[in-house]
Amino acid sequence: MAATLGDYSPVLSTVQKWAAEFKRDTESLEDDPRSERPATATTQENTTRVHHMVIDDRRLTVNQIANTIGISYERVENILYKELDISKVSARWMPQLLTSDQKHTMLIMSQANLALFETDPVSFLERFFTQDEFWVHYIEPETKRQSFQWKHPSSPTPKKAKVVSSGNGLRFLGCKGHCVH
């Protein structure tokens, strides 16, 4: 065998294993089919289950999905990335997430302040005052890793408000009246 195959000849232990198999009347050296689980876990049923899980909770991890369905981590990754074409992305930081009503209110306030400034620029700042400030403890914002979500290529990138933490665990939330800080 070594003279015929050269560098491609099998090692002695492999040849001994083959000889033992043929002595037991084994006609093929191919692996026997395994009955304990299907050849692949990438079935239509599992693909549908993974898709529904991701749609219901876009922040699930691959491990959580694999443990719930009972298939391997690698199969879940294959289903997500290749079968469903879904990727996990971090939410994009936005300076502020405002509702349309809040945006409209800010526009009206800005226009009113601009009109006041154009009327009397010198005393404009004298008109502003601060009263009844209030500070409250806040909850730490989620990290970038915590904001990861699954998304299809055609769906928009998720957004989250950018929060700047203060050093003492307090945040200024506002004041009554007109404020300038």
Q: What confidence tier does 177 reach under pLDDT thresholds 50, 70, 90?
A: very low
Residue 168 in this model has a pLDDT that exceeds 80:
no
pLDDT digits (tens, 9 = 90+) for 18-72: 888 888 877 766 666 665 555 577 889 999 999 999 989 988 999 999 999 999 9
Is-contact 97 160, C-beta < 8 A? yes
The H helix count followed by the E strand count for the chain is: 6, 6
- DSSP-derived secondary structure letter, 70: T
The residues facing 87 across adjacent strands are: 151
Share of the chain above pLDDT 70, in %: 68
The predicted model gives 118-130 an average pLDDT of 73
Tokens found for residue 55: 């749609």
Q: What pLDDT sits at residue 47?
A: 92
Map 22-69 to HEC letters.
HHCCCCCCCCCCCCCCCCCCCCHHHHHHHHHHHHHCCCCCHHHHHHHH
DSSP states of 140-158: PPPPTGGG-EEE-TTSPPP
Report pTM: 0.44
